[in-house]
């Protein structure tokens, strides 16, 4: 998993590539923490993400709850078909905003 | 480390060799010049002696000549007294001259005037001399003082005379017959020979020092004797010495370093009477022996240095570096995880201690790892126990059959399933997958399972979607870790075959009709439980006929991965179930067949998630 901050806070935008699983999700979360702390909105570009495990889902859930609590916005963009299927099946599409 | 050591060893050995060489070179140089100085001084002493001998010889010859002339002139005075005719008669005097063998006889009166004289005709005419006043000439004037002194005798040293500057000697004595002087004169060319024989120049061959060195004898600044004949008659300036050095040389004694005609010389100078002696030797000759010694020293030193370097290097290699290498090899094995490796390097006390230290450390580490492992194992065992202890049991019922299996991964996952009768006609069954792994997931699983069961047991008359929504709200309370669980739950009316179900984020089950028709069970994908409160769910209905079955499973099945990192996948699952075998397989074989197919697919790749499945077969 690699990522790239394409737009700095407060309108944070991050491009993520690779798998979001048990190992990489906590890493992404902790490394993005300083930027997220300053962000009022976040767009995660999942163009390069081809697999999302339950740990990845948990990360999305954590971010969704956090921005909702603080009145910010959290959106996903460029979701790949495999990931889209997981989001659809688990009902995450019902609670997440997708561009 | 070996490289560094060898480098420093080389530097140390090379430095000591250089120091030794320099010291020896310095001492040898000093010694060489000292030896040269001694040699030159010795040769100069010899030269001084030779000069003295020469001078003495010449003096003896001169003394003999002088005394012979003194006697002769006194004899002439006596003859004149006995035979006065000799004084006045020039012929008589000429006869006497011939007899005596002198070149000139002068008879001088009391006024210092030559009255009579006899001259060798080869030299001159006697008439010219008569009347010559002795007082008028510096050479003859001293004789005037003898007039009137009966005992007067004077022999002059030979002096150059005339155009050819030949040596000529005069002697005189008081006349006995009258007041006046009688003089004898003689050309002393034989003395010239004697003086030449005894001149400093004749010392030349004896003035050599070594091969290229020599002694130069100076009178004033002029070289009057040297081994090199061409130096004779030249000045120090003309052979290239500078003025200051020439001043020093002419005034005292000392050592010199100079260049003569482009060659470097070392030398000694001393004063000897009115002469100055300079002894010189070419620097190259002085240092020839030293250079030979230096060359030998360099060769032997290099050999010695090589021997010392190689032997010390080899020794250290054997004693220290090999030991360290062996320890490093052992350490490498230990680092690679072979904790049973023992470091056994015992060639010295230090290595024994080091080996012992490492072994003790590894043992301690092993103990700590074992302790941690057993702690972890007990935690995992406990979690697994929790997961497995809660598997449901049911008394057999003619209206349905239910089969379930769960293969947990090495690390405890969060799958679970459950089935129980709510009342005599309603069977509740569910399958779930908790996000996350390990003890926290197991605890969340326990909680979810208990909540689901208690809520479903008390659900009589309530819509299933509301029951699920309330379970979700309960799970959301205090769920700071954002754990969640996907659940598929169904309630089957055993009398009618009507099935009510809710899917909360779980994989869609597969419906197998008794006629062999297999398809996905249509599901509305609700949100997972525990993720967010106040979420609503949708309950759906389907009617089962006797012989129909529903297959529930977790993503451990569809996401099972083979060594090529390919997922088993939904399509493969549906295709298998639709295949001729599975579409009509006996209910008790469905799960084992499916499990076999998954195992064939992964082909030994390690299992990363729990694989859980449940098959409900409705008999009516």
The DSSP line for A45-83 is EEEEEEEE-HHHHHHHHHHHHHHHHTT-EEEEES--HHH
Residue closest to B417 by CA, chosen among B553, B259, B607, B608: B553
| Contact flag A61-B505 (C-beta cutoff 8 Å) | no
The C-alpha angle B136, B138, B139, rounded to 5 degrees, equals: 115
Please report the pLDDT score of residue B173 as a whole number: 94
| Contact flag A91-B504 (C-beta cutoff 8 Å) | yes
Q: How confident is the model at residue B426 (pLDDT cuts 50, 70, 90)?
A: very high
Question: Which one of B437, B482, B505 has the shortest CB-CB distance to A90?
Answer: B505
| Contact flag B436-A91 (C-beta cutoff 8 Å) | no
d(CA B392, CA B614): 12
| Contact flag B486-A58 (C-beta cutoff 8 Å) | no
| Contact flag A90-B486 (C-beta cutoff 8 Å) | yes
Residue-wise pLDDT for B183-208, tens only, equals 999 988 777 777 766 666 677 777 88
What residues does each domain of chain A span? 2-98
Residue closest to A22 by CA, chosen among B414, B316, B200: B414
Residue of B485, B528, B534, B554 to mutate, interface with A, max A Cβ within 10 Å:
B528
| Contact flag A90-B436 (C-beta cutoff 8 Å) | no
d(CA B95, CA B73): 15
pLDDT beyond 80 at B435: yes
**Cis ω before A10 (30° cut-off from 0):** yes
Please report the pLDDT score of residue B475 as a whole number: 93
Question: CA nearest A96 in B: which residue?
Answer: B527
d(CA B595, CA B407): 10
Phi, psi of B512 (to 5 degrees): -115, 110
Please report the pLDDT score of residue B422 as a whole number: 92
pLDDT beyond 90 at B376: no
- Per cent of chain B over pLDDT 70 is 97
Residue closest to B557 by CA, chosen among B436, B413, B380: B413
Residue-wise pLDDT for B439-459, tens only, equals 788 888 888 999 999 999 998
Question: Which one of A22, A62, A91 has the shortest CB-CB distance to B528?
Answer: A91
Residue closest to B527 by CA, chosen among B506, B547, B553: B506
Q: How confident is the model at residue B88 (pLDDT cuts 50, 70, 90)?
A: confident
Name, in order, each residue with C-beta under 8 angstroms of B279's C-beta and a sequence gap of 6 or more.
B40, B41, B43, B44, B209, B213, B214, B215, B216, B267, B268, B269
**Distance (Å) from the C-alpha of residue A80 to the closest C-alpha of chain B?**
16
Cβ neighbours around B303 below 10 Å, total: 10
Task: Report DSSP state, residue B296.
Answer: H
Question: CA nearest B570 in A: which residue?
Answer: A85
Q: Report the 3 state secondary structure along B143-166.
A: HHCCCCCCCCEEECCCEEECCCCE
Residue closest to B320 by CA, chosen among B533, B1, B8: B1
Residue B574 CB burial class (10 angstroms; 0-12, 13-18, ≥19): middle
Average pLDDT of the residues in B338-349: 81
Task: Give per-residue burial for B497-523: e unless 16+ CB within 10 Å, then b.
Answer: bebbbbbbbbbbbbbbebeeebeebeb
Residue closest to B438 by CA, chosen among B389, B486, B387, B371: B387
Highest mean pLDDT among B133-142, B412-421, B518-527 belongs to: B518-527
Measuring CA to CA, how many Å separate B465 from each of A90, B80, B479, B567?
16, 187, 21, 32
**Distance (Å) from the C-alpha of residue A95 to the closest C-alpha of chain B?**
8
Domain A2-98 has CATH 3.40.640.10: no
pLDDT beyond 70 at B390: no
**Distance (Å) from the C-alpha of residue A12 to the closest C-alpha of chain B?**
23
**CB B79, CB B95: distance < 8 Å:** no
Please report the pLDDT score of residue B198 as a whole number: 65
Please report the pLDDT score of residue B122 as a whole number: 84
Residue closest to B511 by CA, chosen among B556, B569, B552: B552
Q: Largest alpha-carbon pair distance within chain A?
A: 32
CA of residue B89 relative to chain centroid, distance: 109
Question: CA nearest A23 in B: which residue?
Answer: B436
Residue-wise pLDDT for B234-266, tens only, equals 888 888 888 888 888 888 889 989 888 888 999
Please report the pLDDT score of residue B70 as a whole number: 93
Question: Which one of B482, B486, B504 has the shortest CB-CB distance to A61?
Answer: B482
pTM over 0.80? The answer is: no
d(CA B407, CA B377): 18
Please report the pLDDT score of residue B196 as a whole number: 67
Name, in order, each residue with C-beta under 8 angstroms of B409's C-beta and a sequence gap of 6 or more.
B556, B607, B608, B609, B610
DSSP of B69-127: HHHHHHHHHHHHHH-THHHH-HHHHHHHHHHHT-SEEEEE-TTSBEEEEEE-TTT--HH
d(CA B42, CA B208): 12
Q: How many residues would you count in chain A? A: 99
Residue closest to B504 by CA, chosen among B559, B450, B441, B452: B452
Cβ neighbours around B408 below 10 Å, total: 20
The C-alpha angle B57, B62, B68, rounded to 5 degrees, equals: 130
Residue of A90, A93, A96, A97 to mutate, interface with B, max B Cβ within 10 Å:
A90
DSSP of B498-550: EEEEEEEBPPPPEEE-TTS-EEEPP---BPPBTSSTT----EEEEEPPTT-EE
Size of interface A-B (CB pairs under 8 A): 54
pLDDT beyond 80 at B525: yes
Lowest mean pLDDT among B127-141, B184-198, B286-300: B184-198
Q: Is the dihedral of CA B476, B479, B482, B486 positive or negative?
A: negative
pLDDT beyond 80 at B73: yes
Q: How confident is the model at residue B472 (pLDDT cuts 50, 70, 90)?
A: very high
d(CA A22, CA A32): 16
| Contact flag A58-B483 (C-beta cutoff 8 Å) | yes
Residue-wise pLDDT for B530-554, tens only, equals 988 899 999 999 999 999 999 999 9
Half-sphere exposure (CA, 13 Å, Cβ side) for B168? 17
- Per cent of chain B over pLDDT 90 is 37
Specify the higher pLDDT residue, B568 or B160: B568
pLDDT beyond 90 at B305: no
Ranges of residues in chain A whose predicted pLDDT is under 50: none
d(CA B166, CA A1): 124
pLDDT beyond 90 at B386: no
d(CA A79, CA A47): 6
Question: Which one of A58, A89, A91 has the shortest CB-CB distance to B482?
Answer: A58
Measured between beta carbons, the chain B residues lying within 8 angstroms of A94 are 525-527, 535
Half-sphere exposure (CA, 13 Å, Cβ side) for B208? 6
Residue closest to B109 by CA, chosen among B137, B78, B130: B130
| Contact flag A92-B527 (C-beta cutoff 8 Å) | yes
Radius of gyration of chain B (CA): 70
**CB B586, CB B611: distance < 8 Å:** no
């Amino acid at each position: 998993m690699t990522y790239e901050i394409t737009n700095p806070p407060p309108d944070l935008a991050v491009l993520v590539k690779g798998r979001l699983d048990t190992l990489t999700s906590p890493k992404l979360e902790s490394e993005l923490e300083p930027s997220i702390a300053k962000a009022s909105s976040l767009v995660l570009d999942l163009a390069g993400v081809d697999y999302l495990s339950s740990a990845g889902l948990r990360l999305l859930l954590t971010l969704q709850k956090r921005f909702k609590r603080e009145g910010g916005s959290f959106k996903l963009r460029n979701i790949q078909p495999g990931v889209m299927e997981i989001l659809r099946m688990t009902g995450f599409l019902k609670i997440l905003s997708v561009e | 480390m070996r490289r560094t050591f060898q480098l420093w060893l080389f530097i140390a050995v090379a430095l000591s060799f250089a120091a030794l060489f320099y010291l020896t070179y310095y001492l040898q140089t000093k010694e060489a010049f000292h030896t040269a100085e001694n040699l030159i001084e010795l040769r100069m002493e010899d030269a001084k002696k030779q000069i003295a001998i020469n001078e003495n010889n010449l003096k003896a010859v001169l003394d003999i000549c002088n005394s012979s002339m003194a006697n002769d002139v006194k004899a002439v005075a006596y003859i004149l007294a006995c035979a006065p005719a000799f004084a006045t008669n020039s012929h008589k005097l000429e006869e006497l001259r011939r007899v005596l063998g002198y070149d000139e006889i002068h008879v001088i009166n009391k006024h210092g005037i030559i009255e009579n004289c006899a001259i060798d005709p080869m030299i001159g005419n006697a008439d010219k001399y008569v009347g010559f006043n002795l007082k008028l000439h510096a050479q003859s004037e001293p004789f005037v003082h003898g007039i009137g002194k009966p005992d007067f005798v004077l022999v002059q040293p030979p002096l150059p005379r005339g155009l050819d500057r030949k040596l000529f000697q005069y002697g005189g004595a008081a006349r006995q017959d009258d007041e006046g002087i009688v003089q004898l004169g003689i050309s002393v060319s034989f003395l010239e020979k004697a003086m030449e024989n005894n001149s400093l120049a004749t010392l030349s061959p004896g003035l050599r020092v070594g091969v290229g060195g020599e002694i130069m004898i100076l009178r004033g600044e002029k070289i009057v004797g040297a081994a090199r004949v061409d130096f004779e008659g030249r000045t120090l300036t003309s052979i290239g010495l500078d003025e200051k050095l020439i001043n020093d040389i002419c005034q005292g004694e000392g050592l010199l370093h100079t260049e003569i005609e482009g060659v470097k010389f070392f030398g000694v100078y001393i004063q000897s009477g009115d002469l100055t002696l300079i002894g010189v030797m070419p620097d190259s000759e002085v240092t020839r022996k030293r250079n030979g010694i230096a060359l030998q020293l360099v060769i032997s030193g290099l050999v010695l240095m090589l021997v010392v370097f190689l032997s010390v290097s080899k020794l250290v290699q054997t004693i220290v570096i090999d030991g360290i290498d062996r320890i490093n090899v052992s350490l490498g094995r230990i680092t690679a995880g072979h904790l049973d490796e023992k470091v056994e390097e015992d060639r010295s006390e230090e290595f024994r201690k080091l080996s012992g230290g490492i072994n003790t450390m590894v043992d301690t580490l092993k103990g700590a790892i074992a302790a941690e492992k057993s702690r972890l194992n007990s935690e995992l065992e406990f979690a697994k126990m929790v997961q497995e202890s809660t598997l449901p049991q049911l008394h057999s019922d003619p209206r349905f059959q239910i089969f379930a299996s769960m293969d947990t991964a090495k690390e405890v996952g969060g799958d679970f399933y459950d089935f129980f009768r709510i009342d005599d006609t309603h069977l509740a069954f569910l399958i779930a997958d908790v996000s996350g792994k390990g003890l926290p997931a197991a605890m969340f699983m326990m909680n979810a399972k208990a909540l689901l069961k208690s809520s479903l047991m008390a659900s009589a008359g309530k819509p299933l979607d509301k029951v699920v929504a309330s379970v979700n709200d309960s799970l959301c309370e205090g769920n700071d870790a954002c754990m969640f669980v996907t659940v598929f739950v169904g309630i089957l009316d055993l009398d009618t075959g009507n099935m009510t179900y809710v899917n909360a984020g779980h994989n869609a089950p597969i419906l197998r009709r008794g006629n062999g028709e297999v398809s996905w069970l249509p599901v509305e994908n609700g949100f997972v439980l525990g993720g967010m409160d106040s979420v609503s769910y949708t309950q759906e209905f389907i009617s089962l006929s006797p012989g129909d079955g529903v297959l529930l499973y977790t993503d451990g099945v569809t996401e099972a991965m083979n060594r090529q990192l390919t997922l088993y996948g939904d399509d493969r699952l549906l295709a298998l179930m639709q295949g001729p075998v599975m579409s009509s397989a006996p209910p008790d074989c469905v799960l084992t067949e499916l499990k076999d197919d998954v195992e064939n697919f992964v082909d030994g790749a390690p299992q990363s998630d729990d694989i859980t499945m449940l098959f409900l077969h409705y008999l009516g």
